[in-house]
Amino acid sequence: MKPITIGITDCGRYPNYENWIKHVPGTEVIRLTNLIDKSSSIDQCDAILLSGGQDVHPRFYNKMEYLKFYEDTVPDIDEQRDEFEWKVLEYAQEKKLPVLGICRGLQMANVFFGGTLIVDIPAAGMENHSKIKEGEDRYHRISVSVNSELNKIAGTDAGLVNSAHHQGAAIVAENLTVNAVSGDGVIEGLERKDFNQHPYLMLVQWHPERMIDQQSVFSRNLRDSFLEAARSRYE
């Protein structure tokens, strides 16, 4: 069987995503970055994984008034990365590549398709979804929409996921639909409307690549469904 190649967008914890994907036999990865390794070409990729990391610059979702939130935390945004991942998403749509977005990846994809973000979840009056400390994620339960593709993938209506984010989806892009929420109403997952009529697009706010329980249906099943979508391009 021909190996499948997954393009993973670069971030500070890139090895976590690489190891999570390469753990499955028959998979190869390419580090997609606008800074280094120019020889790694996106045209070799069978699918795209959008990794976690910095906040998306508010200009990409027309909320420039949010910039005041970043007055003392400029390193938390990286416009070059935003612009690069925007092009990656354009390419993925053009070539009909499967896409899995994780944490920031959900936020970037929602913005790309026309949605907006909550600039800071606690400031919006909801519970803290950030990690407890460096290297220790928070955990909470989510409810999964009964008729969603995520429900089919996970095989459950609810479960426990990790959490390490302070932003989330606000207005959901028109061609996306919510598939999971936390107890306090924060959107925990998005997917395409009419999922099976379009290329695979699954977006989750948690970090399946570093969940303590790697056999969780919210880690293993999610990865397997994504890789199967990449393999199906050869069927």
- Give the amino acid at 117: L
User: 123 phi and psi, to 5 degrees?
Assistant: -65, -25
User: Is 103 a residue of the active site?
Assistant: yes
User: 169 phi and psi, to 5 degrees?
Assistant: -70, 135
Instruction: Tell me the C-alpha distance between 225 and 153, whole Å.
Output: 7
Residues sharing a CB contact under 8 Å with residue 155, sequence separation 6 or more, in sequence order = 217, 221
Instruction: Tell me the C-alpha distance between 91 and 94, whole Å.
Output: 5
Of the candidates 119, 154, 26, 34, the residue with the CA atom closest to the CA atom of residue 82: 34
User: Is 209 a residue of the active site?
Assistant: yes
User: 88 phi and psi, to 5 degrees?
Assistant: -60, -45
In sequence order, the β-bridge partners of residue 48 are 7, 99
For the CA atoms of 92, 95, 96, 98, the dihedral, rounded to the nearest 10 degrees, stands at -50
In the set 45, 57, 103, 191, the catalytic residue is 103
Instruction: Tell me the C-alpha distance between 2 and 8, whole Å.
Output: 19
User: Is 207 a residue of the active site?
Assistant: yes
Structure-block tokens of residue 30:
């390419």
- Looking at 145-190, list the stretches that DSSP marks H as alpha helix, in order from N- to C-terminal side: 149-154
Catalytic residues: 103, 207, 209
